[in-house]
Amino acid sequence: MESFLSRYRNLIVLLVLLLLQVIGLAVQVRKPVVVAGGTPSPGRDKEDGKGVRLIRLWAADLVTPFERAVHGSSQGVSGFWGNYLDLRHTKEENKNLQQTIDRLRLEQASLLEDARQGHRLQEMLKFQQNYIYKTAAAQVIGTSGSSQSHVLYLDKGAEDGLERDMAVITGDGIVGKVRAVFPHAAQVLMINDQTSGAGVVLETTRTRGILRGDEAGRPQVINILADQRIQQGEHVLTAGGDQVFPRGLPVGVVESVVRDPERSGFIDIRVKPAADLQRLDEVLVILSMQPHLSSQQQADLATSEEVMGAEAAADAERKKAAAEMEERLPGLKDPNAPDAPKKPAPGAVNADGTPVVVPTPKPLPAKHLDRFSPGVRSEDLPQPSDGGGTNAPAKPDAPKTPKPKPQNPGTGAQ
Amino acid sequence: MQAIIPDYRRDLEIRRYPPYVYVLVPLVALVLQAWLPRLLGRYAYMDLPVLVTVYFALNRRSPIHGSVLGALLGMAQDGLTHGAIGIHGIANTICGFLAASVGIRIVVENNIIRMLLNFVFSLTAGAIVLFVTRILLGLHMQVDWLDEVLHAVGNAGIGLILFPILDLTQSRD
């Protein structure tokens, strides 16, 4: 027995290691327990088990402090050099301006989408401005290091208020969602990963789909019914139904439309992401989707309301002046003409409770009757002449008029 | 052929390294593997944990050592991804075992042989990852093979520079 163990020691160790890892894999990929009342959505995936989470925590704790140090030192060196060469205050001001631009872009995107929907559903929905979010800025300090796993690590974690399934964005567009949270770091699953899923909608055609990455890390909207209207350059926005990303945030533009290789009649839409996913430094994590107005935003909103109020007042003044002018000027209408019959409102009823019947306008009589004309029987129509000639039917109800005699009788029908 | 088959006892000696090298080098490999893609973007064609596993396995010439180091590094690599723990672990374990087995039989001082071995083991690791993901786990994962080949080429190139540097850290008796 001893000789067997010593002889095959290497192989036994290899098999034990492989077996342990295979068992670990089997435990991890077992079917998830369905939580009562839980609704599956494309943006959510199942949470890691305790053991797996522990390994991830160890790996993150092992690597992220060094990544943070490397990132900090590289930024420090480049920052020092930049500040030495350029003007420090200019750089800081530029940073503040960039933050302001990012914030305004976010607000603008939200307001634009709301305005679009407001135009479509103006009479049914009340406009409600609820797209100003509470966010936290975070630095990207690392990646997963695997080309099959598009994951980022942020320098903020649970102690900074980050939670699982929070949306991560930049001023340009969405980046991904928080997948795992550690005390001082967080793992973000990017939108170009094969296992990600974000509900999106095409801006013009309003086609909805799920965004995920392909094998090359390019985001694409999958399982879309072939639609000729979808064109290159169309904007893609978040649909808001995945419980992760708020509605109306920019995702990217349609880069190309390709046929689904597995399903005929379906297409995949490759999307050029609005955010530069390869070069991310600072991102925003949406901590809360509830309205949260900072003092600056409140001031902006007050200014906006004042401007809108002034515009509304001016508009009312113009309408009032136009009405007065209309009264003073001679009208084009004939005052003696009888009033046009009023159309009953849809759903109106008579005094006895019967619905008001709207008289259907009769069509004008046809100039040339044929067998398709309403109320005309085939025997009423004249038979075509034997000698060929025209097939046009005669007018049965038309007043008979004497036919003009041909000028040259010799050329008439024989 | 003379350069490949070991003739002398010197060719088959087991190289030893100070303990801190066994800790620091894999750690630096993990950190750089996670950090460099931020700078290089999609052009980060490398797999430093596989490279380090292959290096120590080839030079230690111990399949057990290579397998254990591969398993630990691979599982740490998995810990940084969002996938199941063990995918890269299994790949690196097998690569470590195979590299040590090869190291016993051939001389691995030659740079061209090292480059070829790095290329082959990087491709092997990619194939095992695909096998585990698709066959064992039954997950739908598409792989760009050109990308995998470029990773292998990158590893072969980096190995040419990295292995001589790591050779300097070995203990001298």
Nearest beta carbon to residue A217 from set B42, B75, B101: B42
Which of residues A288 and B9 earns the better pLDDT score? A288
Which residue is closest to B86 within chain A, CA to CA? Answer: A21
B85: which chain A residues are within 8 Å (Cβ-Cβ)? 24-25, 28, 52, 55-56
CA distance A12 to chain B (A): 9
Of A202, A194, A193, nearest in space to A168 by CA: A193
A59: which chain B residues are within 8 Å (Cβ-Cβ)? 30, 76, 78-80
pLDDT of residue A225: 87
Would you call A275 an interface residue with chain B, using a CB distance cutoff of 8 Å?
no
Domain ranges within chain B, ordered by starting residue: 39-167
Of B6, B57, B107, nearest in space to A13 by CA: B57
Backbone region of residue B104 per phi and psi (left: phi > 0; alpha: psi in -120 to 50; beta: other values) = alpha
Nearest beta carbon to residue B141 from set A148, A153, A216: A148
Question: CA-CA distance, B51 to B92, in Å (whole number)?
Answer: 10
Q: Is the pLDDT of residue B69 over 80?
A: yes
Q: Domain for residue A305, yes or no?
A: no
What average pLDDT score do residues B79-98 get? 93
Counted across chains A and B, CB pairs separated by less than 8 A come out at 153
Give chain A's domain count.
1
Contact (CB<8Å) A146/B77 = yes
Which of residues B144 and A144 earns the better pLDDT score? A144
Tokens 């925003």 label which residue? Answer: A284
What average pLDDT score do residues B18-43 get? 89
pLDDT of residue A174: 92
Q: What are phi and psi of A58, to 5 degrees?
A: -60, -45
Which residue is closest to B27 within chain A, CA to CA? Answer: A63
pLDDT of residue A391: 45
C-alpha dihedral sign at A34, A39, A44, A47: negative
pLDDT of residue A170: 86
Q: Which two tokens stand for residue A286?
A: 């949406």
Q: Is the pLDDT of residue B12 over 90?
A: no
pLDDT of residue A134: 79
Residue A94: domain span: 50-288
Would you call A70 an interface residue with chain B, using a CB distance cutoff of 8 Å?
yes
Would you call A406 an interface residue with chain B, using a CB distance cutoff of 8 Å?
no
A152 strand-pairing partners: A143, A188
Would you call B37 an interface residue with chain A, using a CB distance cutoff of 8 Å?
yes
pLDDT, chain B, mean = 88
Query: What is the SS3 string spanning chain B?
Result: CCCCCCCCCHHHCCCCCCHHHHHHHHHHHHHHHHHHHHHHHHHCCCCHHHHHHHHHHHHHCCHHHHHHHHHHHHHHHHHHCCCCCCHHHHHHHHHHHHHHHHHHHCCCCCHHHHHHHHHHHHHHHHHHHHHHHHHHCCCCCCCCHHHHHHHHHHHHHHHHHHHHHHHCCCCCC
Tokens 């009823």 label which residue? Answer: A349
Interface test with B, best of A21, A74, A212 (most B CBs within 10 A): A21
Instruction: Provide the ipTM.
Output: 0.87
Q: Domain for residue A9, yes or no?
A: no
Q: Note down pLDDT in tens along chain A; length 414 residues.
A: 678 778 888 899 999 999 999 999 888 876 554 444 444 455 556 677 777 888 888 888 888 888 888 877 776 776 676 666 666 677 778 888 888 888 888 888 878 777 766 665 554 443 334 455 778 888 899 898 888 889 999 999 999 999 999 999 988 889 999 999 999 999 999 999 988 889 999 988 888 999 999 878 889 998 888 887 888 889 999 988 788 888 888 999 999 998 887 788 888 899 999 998 888 888 889 888 765 556 766 677 677 777 777 778 888 888 888 888 777 776 555 555 555 555 555 556 666 666 666 566 666 666 676 766 666 666 666 665 544 444 444 444 444 444 444 444 444 333
